[in-house]
């Protein structure tokens, strides 16, 4: 399948890129990691206003969806710029709430506009300390949790803060909608692809400036081969991502998540090696993408779980 973005989709990506570049997202992410959410909430309102969450929400609830390709376009840019916050979880919340029409009219419009931020969890909920809507997955049901405990648990990615949802609350759905997880996996795959692309761009720029033996490190054959391998993996993941967004078949989405997350993780390892000692420094901005590549790999479906979903999709039915 040959897939090209439309002029409108490319313009959407370009506008988000410009918005996020001007916002200095590395500084926003570092403040978010420290529990300072003011800049992050301001950025959240701006990306929502730009239409990041609208593709996941039906038109009946002030969204534009379902538009999974546009969602993937947006989330690639969020990954490229290391935007903090429960962006994937807000998309998942929208998919879950769409299965509860009696609650959707009340809860979905604020998510589209950016006035509210949602998170979803079972044992832990990402950024539950700042989210306005906390959905709890328990016993195969979806609950509107009364909130989270005040304690926050750090994760490998400092910008991904984990809180424990409070039990009980209002029952939203007696069963988790079967396609809700697909939306979370698609958004995660797109975010991971963006993370990988950012890591590759930063590494190419770095090895072009770093000098050894009187020449740029990037001129060494071994370095070129490593970068070529990572670039190929990322470019192979791209059509899988947008093909999955077109079909929305669970197996296609699982395959896209495996490809994008594994490519981003491999790119992170290459970036770390080629940056040398400075790559291990938390104060260096590269770390914002290195840690994110690692945690996205297992978010909303480990590689093993997604590969199993691909195999299930290949088995004949009946």
pLDDT in 10s for each residue of the chain, 318 residues: 556 899 999 999 999 999 999 999 999 999 999 999 999 999 999 999 999 999 999 999 999 989 999 999 999 999 999 999 999 999 999 999 988 888 999 999 999 999 999 999 999 999 999 999 999 999 999 999 999 998 899 889 999 999 999 988 999 999 998 899 999 999 999 999 999 999 999 999 998 988 888 888 877 888 999 999 999 999 999 999 999 999 999 999 999 999 999 999 999 999 999 998 888 888 999 999 999 999 999 999 999 999 999 999 887 654
Report DSSP state, residue 275.
H
Distance between CA atoms of residues 43 and 16, nearest Å: 11
Give the β-pairing of 215-216 and 125-126: unpaired
Distance between CA atoms of residues 296 and 82, nearest Å: 12
């Amino acid at each position: 399948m040959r897939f090209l973005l439309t002029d409108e989709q490319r313009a959407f990506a370009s506008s988000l890129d410009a918005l996020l570049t001007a916002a200095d997202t590395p500084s926003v992410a570092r403040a978010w990691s420290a529990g300072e959410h003011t800049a992050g909430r301001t950025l959240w309102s701006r990306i929502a206003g730009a239409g990041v969450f609208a593709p996941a929400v039906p038109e009946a609830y002030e969204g534009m969806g379902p538009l999974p390709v546009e969602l993937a376009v947006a989330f690639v840019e969020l990954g490229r710029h290391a935007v903090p916050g429960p962006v994937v979880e807000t998309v998942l919340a929208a998919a879950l709430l769409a299965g509860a029409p009696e609650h959707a009219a009340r809860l979905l419009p604020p998510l589209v506009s950016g006035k509210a931020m949602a998170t979803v969890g079972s044992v832990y909920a990402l950024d539950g300390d700042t989210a306005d809507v906390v959905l709890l997955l328990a016993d195969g049901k979806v609950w509107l949790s009364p909130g989270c405990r005040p304690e926050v648990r750090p994760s490998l990615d400092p910008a991904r803060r984990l809180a424990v949802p409070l039990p009980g609350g209002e029952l939203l759905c007696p069963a988790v909608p079967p396609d809700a997880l697909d939306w979370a996996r698609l958004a995660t795959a797109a975010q991971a692809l963006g993370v990988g692309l950012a890591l590759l761009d930063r590494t190419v720029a770095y090895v072009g400036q770093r000098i050894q033996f009187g020449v740029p490190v990037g001129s060494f054959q071994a370095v070129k081969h490593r970068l070529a391998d990572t670039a190929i993996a990322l470019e192979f993941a791209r059509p899988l991502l947008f093909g999955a967004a077109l079909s929305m078949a669970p197996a296609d989405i699982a395959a896209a998540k495996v490809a994008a997350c594994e490519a981003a993780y491999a790119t992170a390892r290459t970036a770390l090696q080629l940056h040398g000692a400075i790559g291990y420094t938390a104060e260096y901005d590269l770390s914002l993408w290195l840690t994110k590549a690692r945690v996205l790999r297992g978010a909303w479906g480990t590689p093993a779980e997604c590969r199993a979903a691909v195999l299930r999709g290949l088995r004949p039915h009946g």
